[in-house]
Structure 1
Amino acid sequence: MMNSVSLVGRLTRDPELKYTPSGVAVATFTLAINRPFSNQQGDREADFVQCVVWKKPAENAANYLGKGSLIAVNGRIQTRSYDNNEGRRVYVTEVVAERISYLESKGSRSETQSPTTNSNQSSNNTSRGHSDDPFANDSGTINISDDDLPF
């Protein structure tokens, strides 16, 4: 069996960085990916894919990426569900990024770029957030037990 995805697109907003109660960094962002064809009116359409990245690469993404940054994401598709505030089951499909490549130099756009980030790399970075997140109405932390983490 194989679950592998590679995407190239631009961020629709700045990545949002949060920390689990145990202190693990997690960043979420949406990637806009142009379709390779035009619709009947001649307009190009795009797909908007939700992505999540963990640990130091999450901090790097929040620190070095911004709205409009061109990146490549390699990872896997994950589906999960939760009960929202109204008691309804919500299903989420997202890409868990295992590798993010920064495809533009810092000079070509105002807020982009750092070297390629791997899940195993380390560096010290600060965070920056945005409000396009399914957890935006939560208290700011994500309650996940260590058993739920993918590592």
Structure 2
Amino acid sequence: MLNRIVLIGRLTQDPELRYTNSGTAVATFSLAVDRPRLNQAGERETDFIQIVVWQKQAETVAQYLHKGRLAAVDGRLQIRSYENKDGQKVRVAEVVAETVRFLDRGENSARDTHSNAGMQRNSSGMNSNRRQEVPRPSFDDDPFADDGPMIDISDDDLPF
């Protein structure tokens, strides 16, 4: 048997973090995932999928993911039912995430990390609200540039 869901989409709201009676963290959020094909009107439709994350990963998701952030979720589909206040049986489909990956840096990541880095003192010694430009790494930068000399590998050395 196999029950595996892999999704990539954007959060529709900030995650909601709660704790069970035993103190286990649980976060819930909704992920907007575009369908791969256009509808008859030529428009792309979107599914809004409920995600549940548990334990330490729930706290991390609640701390760093926010509405609009791009995320990948790997988990399993869960169908559960409960009785609402009116006594009606309600069925809910949700993805229980095993892994959540943050796929973008987010708008506030540099600002959150360096909250005081942009503050400057003016001539009177008071802090001004002008922000200094904080250099951001480029995705085009080679992360292995300072790892030493290049290794020459021929195709004959590769096992595949």
Partner of 1:122: none
Structure 2 residue matching 1:45: 3-state secondary structure: strand
Partner of 2:147: none
Q: Tell me, in whole angstroms, the C-alpha distance in 2 between the residues paired with 1:111 and 1:7.
A: 23
Q: Tell me, in whole angstroms, the C-alpha distance in 2 between the residues paired with 1:47 and 1:111.
A: 27
- Structure 1's unaligned 5+ residue stretches are 113-151
Moved more, 95-104 or 31-40: 31-40
Shift of 1:42: 1.8
The superposition leaves residues 20-68 of structure 1 with CA deviations (integer Å, 9 ceiling, x where unpaired) of 0111000000000011122222211101111100001001111000000
Alpha-carbon contact 1:13-1:68 (below 8 Å) kept: yes
Matched, 1:31 2:19: no
Structure 2 residue matching 1:13: 3-state secondary structure: coil
Partner of 1:45: 45
Q: Tell me, in whole angstroms, the C-alpha distance in 2 between the residues paired with 1:20 and 1:93.
A: 20
Q: Tell me, in whole angstroms, the C-alpha distance in 2 between the residues paired with 1:12 and 1:101.
A: 16
Q: Stretches of 4+ moved more than 6 A in 1?
A: none
Q: How many residues align?
A: 110
Shift of 1:77: 0.5
Change (3 A) 1:111 1:46: farther
The 5 A counterparts of 1:57-136 are: 57-106=57-106, 109-110=107-108
Change (3 A) 1:38 1:111: farther
Shift of 1:102: 0.4
User: Cα RMSD between the aligned structures?
Assistant: 1.4
Greater RCO, CA 8 A, separation 6+: 1
Shift of 1:111: 6.1
Q: Tell me, in whole angstroms, the C-alpha distance in 2 between the residues paired with 1:82 and 1:66.
A: 28
Q: Tell me, in whole angstroms, the C-alpha distance in 2 between the residues paired with 1:49 and 1:33.
A: 7
Partner of 2:13: 13
Asked which structure has the greater CA Rg, the reply is: 2
Partner of 2:135: none
Fraction of identical pairs, as percent: 56
Shift of 1:110: 3.4
TM-score scaled by length of structure 2: 0.66
Partner of 1:143: none
